[in-house]
Structure formats: structure tokens, C-alpha cells
Amino acid sequence: MYFSDETQKKSRRLTEKWQDEVQETLKSNPDRKDRFSTVSDLDIKRLYTPEDLKDVDFARNIGAPGEFPYLRGNQVTGYRGRHWTFRMFSGMGSARDTNARWHMLLREGQTGLSTAFDFPTLMGYDSDSPKALGEVGKCGVAIDTLEDFLELIDGIPLDQVTTSMTINPPATILWAMYCAAADIKGVPLAKIGGTIQNDMLKEFIAQKTFMCPPEPSIKLISDTVEFGAKYVPRWNTISISGYHIREAGATAIQELAFTLRDGIEYVEDVIRRKKMDVDDFAPRLSFFFNSHIDFFEEVCKLRAARRIWAKIMRDRFGAKNPRSLWMRFHTQTAGCSLTAQQPYNNIIRTTVEALAAVMGGTQSLHTNSLDEVFCLPSEHAVEVALRTQQILAEETGVVNTIDPLAGSYFVESLTNEIEEKTWEYIEKIDAMGGMIAAIEKGFPQMEIADAAYKFQRQIENKEKIMVGVNKYVTEAQHAVPLMEIDEKMGEEQIKRVQDVRRKRDNHAVKQSLTDIRTACKSGANVMPCCIEAVKNLATQQEICDVYREVYGEYRDPGLY
């Protein structure tokens, strides 16, 4: 028991007395509204007391940093040992443009890189594909071949900086480019570090950048896990993501539950398909969460995440290595919480969300820029976003002690509640036969669609407020200087890729593609052939087309 009988009794007495006074007060001073709830619609009580923690066992449920269940963090010295990585998601136009922005961010104190690709690259199409019309370079960097990639990482010391790449169906290919680039720069694979997002289950659930059906998609993911475990030990080959699930309209609990259940599915597949021991690869699994506007809900969600994953790894998978039990995650502040109205307000939102991520113990963080409701961030806007992290780290003192919110009656109670409800979802999906089965039935997709619609209705009837949108609305427009991507950039990129196709050894490319096809058909690991192919300047669409050919293309069920 967390509190002694004595304390509990005293608390009960005081709480009862307080309740009486509350009833009195409400008679003449009613609450502002009938119901107080989080942005995810969880009910929050007026007061939390020791009674809310009466079943909590301090050692088993809360414990110390660096100790199972890792509620208070994976590292024994927390942020006193090291700040979280300031890792700003960034990419725009051509590789050259992005490289310039990357150097600027590193100069301004960013400590890790994170790559945003344009839609054609994300979907496995070259810049000159008809499907790429109007999309080249617009929401991220356009990468067609290794030549583009080498420009992208120009001047970046690959053995000193870690790079995250938000890429899913073509993840094997972009990672192959990174490995090939390292090779060309003389950096051994054992020394490069980074992450590929490479999480297809959340694509089927939420983000919808898909290519091949679920089964083969997971096979490709397991290939990367295997290759990484053997040859690129500092690389996180999956970033099991909840961010996009949340952006699609999920509640905090759905975000957490579906993400963790995706993780379970991946672990099961690697063990089954690659016959690997869980401790051989689990230390390199990583996660990616959203940090939304309801401060305490997010802090509690992230803490609960660590505790649940540790239990899953130890109890469900029998992991022995403590590092297998660590949940390491990157966080991004919530894009969907930002408003187009009064955009400077977004700075405040991002700040609160960043603070929640830090209080939740994130390993690395991206903060959105105020203008991202309109377009890619301008230099000035991204600078403010980066400074937000630096101010939190250097000025506010919140990093002086580890997991400062622990022990709060509210925080521990809410953490427990979120954990409980998350387990319910996990068990439900288990009963359906796993995540792939659940996706086939449309379960997570419909849960999310219902939650999104419910939230929208709550905004419409002002049950939930968004400042500037349904309250404190002004007619005045606050113009924000916006960045533009030139259409000319697209035309140049098209010329580039066509040039590469002409100049390269097309015979070698054809052979590489054949080798990949053979690997796919035989079930062998595709990574070695991918690396070979990208070195020969195969385009990323050419390799994706092989995947499409062998594995088929996923058909969107169009659920609403």
C-alpha cells in the first residue's frame, strides 16, 4: 500500500469535509461547465487524493529511474546526464536546399537530424512519374537516387550525428542509400546511427502511405531488423509510431494501445520469421509518440507507455536484457492541435506540448513551427521552434530533477487509468487474432474515425474549445511570412533523375533489380541487394516497382 492506514484515514476525513464544502459552494457558485475532460475526452475529477493511490505498490508500480518497470525513466541519471536530442523534422525542395537547412539547424544547436521526404519519395515514385505531378519537393525533400542522397548528407559527419528518416514503404531503399553513402564516405556501418520509421502497420491504420499488402510489408521490416542487428548495431530499424494515429483523430489511449500492439506484432514476426532471440533485436526497437495539448494526459500517457512496454517485453516475450525492456521514444508536438487562425498562438501550444514531452521523459523531440498549418516552416519559424526546446532545457529548471511529477496523486492516478484502458484495447486486439487481423476487420481505423468525428462535433458545439477557432475569434488576419517551394524546383529534379538514368550503367542496374526480385521471391533478406542497387544508381521507384510486382499493391478499403 502506498500510504499508511493512518494517512488514508486522515485523507478520507479531510476529503469528506471538503466534499461537504464543495456542495455548499456549488449552490451559489456553480462550476463553469458540467463536465471537465481531457482533449481525448477522459473525465477528470475535481480533486485527487491519497485515496486514489491506495492500491499502488511503490516499489512495483513506481520504483526508481533505470529500474523495472521504468516508469520514472530508462536512465539512472535522466536529463542530468544528457538532454533529450533536439531533432527537428526537416526537408524541403531539393537535396541541396535541405542540406542547407540541415546545416543551419546544426549551427543553431540541433543535436540530431530528421528527414522529411516529399510525397513521391514517400510513396515510392520518382520525380518524373505522372503520379508525382505537383508534388515534387512540396512537403519534404525529393530523393530519387543515391546522387540526391549524397547531396543531402553533404558535409554531415555520419559517425558523429544520428539521422532519423521518416520513410515507410521505401524504408529499405532509403536506408540502403544511407548505408551506401556511409560506405562511400569511409564510415563503417558499425559506426552509423539513426532511425528509419519503417512502420507499415500504422500506415494501414492511419497515415495511408502504403504500397504492398500487410504480409510482405512486415517481411521487409523484419529484413531491416535482422540486417541492423547483424551489421548496423547503432541503428533503430523501426520507429513504432503513434504520432500519426493520434493525428488521424485517435484518443491518447488509442494512440498508445495501437502503437504498443503494433510493436507486439513486429516482435512476434521477427522472432517467428527470422528465428532471432528477442534480446538480439529488442534493444534497437524505438517508438514515436505525439505530444498533444492536454498537458497531464500526455505526461501520463508517456509514463504509462514505458511501464506497459517493459511488462510486455519481460512477461510476454521473456526478454532478459534490461535494454530490451526500455521503451525509447521520439516525440513530436501535435500538428493537429495547431490552428490557421491567429497562427502566433501556435508557439504557445508547441511550448506546452514540448514541456509535456520532456516531463514524460522523451529521448528526442521535434517541435512544430507556427506556420506549419500553411506550409513548410520558414527559417525564422523553425528557429523559434528549436529555441523553444533549448529554453526548456536551459532556463526552466524542469530538467534539474528526474521525473518531477512522480508521486502527484493526479499524475499517478491518471497514469494508472491510462495503462488500464490501454491493456483493455491490447487484449481486445489479441482476441481478434492480432493487429493484422484487426486491420482487416477495420477495427482500429473505425475507432479512430469515430473518435475524430466525435471530437469535431465537440468543437462544433463548443464542448471543447480551440482558441481563435471557436472562442476568442478575431476578424483580423495576422499575416505570417510564408515559405514557397518553386515549381521550377520540380522541373529541375525531373531533369536530374532523367540525367542519372541516361548516364549510369543500365546493365548493372538491371542486374541489381533482378537480384532484388530473386531475393523477394525466395524470402531472402533484401538489404544487401538494395545497397548494391542504389550504388548502381537504381532509382527508388525502380526498386519499389520490383516490390509492387512481386508482392502486389495494397488496395485501400476506403473506410470512413
Residue choice 336, 352, 399, 508 for contact with other proteins (CB under 8 A): 336
Part of the chain binding other proteins (CB under 8 A), chosen from 253-261, 268-276, 353-361, 468-476: 468-476
Under the criterion CB under 8 A, does residue 247 sit at the interface with other proteins?
Answer: yes
Q: Does 122 bind other proteins (CB under 8 A)?
A: yes
Do 229 and 281 meet the contact criterion of CB atoms below 8 Å apart? yes
Query: Which C-beta is closer to other proteins: that of 229 or that of 248?
Result: 248
Least CB distance from residue 444 to other proteins, whole Å? Answer: 14
Candidates 188, 318, 523, 557; binder of other proteins (CB under 8 A) is 557
**Contact at 8 Å (CB) between 180 and 535?**
yes
523 belongs to the binding site for other proteins (CB under 8 A): no
477 binds other proteins (CB under 8 A): yes
Q: How far is the CB of 440 from other proteins (least distance, A)?
A: 8
Task: Considering the complex, state which of residue 136 and residue 359 has its C-beta at the smaller distance from other proteins.
Answer: 136
* Residue 297: other Cβ atoms inside 10 A: 22
Q: Where are the beta strands (DSSP E) in 160-313?
A: 163-166, 194-196, 235-236, 238-241, 285-291
The closest of 430, 289, 443, 436 to 366, measured between CA atoms, is 289
Please, which of residues 390-449 interact with other proteins by CB under 8 A?
441-442, 449
Nearest distance from C-beta of residue 157 to other proteins, angstroms = 31
What sign has the CA pseudo-torsion 143, 146, 152, 157?
Answer: positive
CA neighbor of 202 nearest in space, from 147, 153, 252, 250: 250
Question: Does 344 help bind other proteins (rule: CB under 8 A)?
Answer: no
Give least dist CB 80 to other proteins, A.
39
**Shortest Cβ 213–other proteins spacing (Å):** 4
CB 255 within 8 A of CB 242: yes
**For other proteins, which is the closer residue by CB, 272 or 503?**
272
CB of 306 to other proteins, least distance (A): 28
Rule CB under 8 A: is residue 470 a binding residue for other proteins?
A: yes
Spatial separation of the C-alpha atoms in residues 302 and 289, rounded to whole Å:
8
Asked if 560 interacts with other proteins (CB under 8 A), we say yes
DSSP 357-401: HHHTT-SEEE---TTTTTSSPPHHHHHHHHHHHHHHHHTS-TTSS
x/- map, 191-230, other proteins, by CB under 8 A: ------------x---xxxx--x-x---------------
Minimum Å gap between C-beta 427 and other proteins is: 19
**Residue nearer to other proteins on the CB measure, 135 or 269:** 135
Task: Report helix, strand or coil for 472.
Answer: coil
Examine residue 557 and say whether the peptide bond preceding it is cis (omega within 30 degrees of 0). no
By CB under 8 A, tell whether 458 contacts other proteins.
no
Count of chain residues binding other proteins (CB under 8 A): 57
> What pairs with residue 289 in β-bridges?
331
Sole binder of other proteins in the list 81, 134, 186, 397 (CB under 8 A): 134
Indicate whether 488 belongs to the interface with other proteins (CB under 8 A). Answer: no
Q: Do residues 120 and 142 lie in contact, with contact meaning Cβ atoms separated by under 8 Å?
A: yes
Residues 6+ apart with CB under 8 A from 126: 120, 132, 144, 497, 539, 540, 541, 542
Task: For the CB of residue 523, give the shortest distance to other proteins in the complex, in Å.
Answer: 15
Compute and round to an integer the Cα radius of gyration of the chain: 24
Cβ closest to other proteins, residue 487 vs residue 505: 487
Task: Classify the C-alpha dihedral 511-517-523-525 as positive or negative.
Answer: positive
Does residue 456 bind other proteins (CB under 8 A)? yes
Q: Is 120 in the site for other proteins (CB under 8 A)?
A: yes
Measured from the CB atom, the residue of 9 and 131 that comes closer to other proteins is 131
Q: Indicate the SS3 state at residue 416.
A: helix
Task: Give whichever of 247 and 298 is closer to other proteins, judged by the CB atom.
Answer: 247
Q: Is 36 in the site for other proteins (CB under 8 A)?
A: no
Q: How far apart, in whole angstroms, are the C-alpha atoms of residue 293 and residue 322?
A: 32
**Which of 487, 491, 499, 505 touches other proteins by CB under 8 A?**
487
Neighbours of 131 (CB within 10 A): 12
Sign of the CA dihedral with 404 first, then 407, 408, and 413 last: positive
Question: Please, which residues bridge with residue 164 across strands?
Answer: 114, 195
Q: How far is the CB of 476 from other proteins (least distance, A)?
A: 13
At 534, which helix (H) or strand (E)? Answer: helix 527-535
Residue among 92, 89, 98 at smallest CA distance from 139 = 92
Under the binding rule (CB under 8 A), the answer on residue 505 touching other proteins is: no
The least CB distance from residue 482 to other proteins, in Å, is 5
Which three-class secondary structure string do you get for 146-203? Answer: HHHHHHHCCCCCCCCCCEEEECCCCHHHHHHHHHHHHHHCCCCHHHCCEEECCCCHHH
C-alpha angle 76/350/408, rounded to 5°?
45
Tell me how far, at minimum, the Cβ of 75 lies from other proteins, in Å.
35
Contact between 552 and other proteins by CB under 8 A: the answer reads yes
Which of 84, 117, 125, 309 touches other proteins by CB under 8 A? 125
Binding mask 358-387 for other proteins (x = CB under 8 A): ---------------xxxx-----------
Could you tell me where the beta strands, DSSP code E, fall in 30-119?
85-90, 112-116
| Interface stretch with other proteins, choices 13-21, 106-114, 117-125, 283-291 (CB under 8 A) | 117-125
**Of 14, 22, 26, 133, the one binding other proteins by CB under 8 A:** 133
Cβ at position 546, least distance to other proteins in Å: 15
Map grid coordinates 498537458 to a residue: 295
Binding site for other proteins (CB under 8 A): 118-120, 122-123, 125, 130-135, 138-139, 203, 207-210, 213, 215, 247-249, 336, 339-341, 373-376, 441-442, 449, 452-453, 456, 460, 466, 468-470, 477, 482, 484-485, 487, 551-552, 554-560
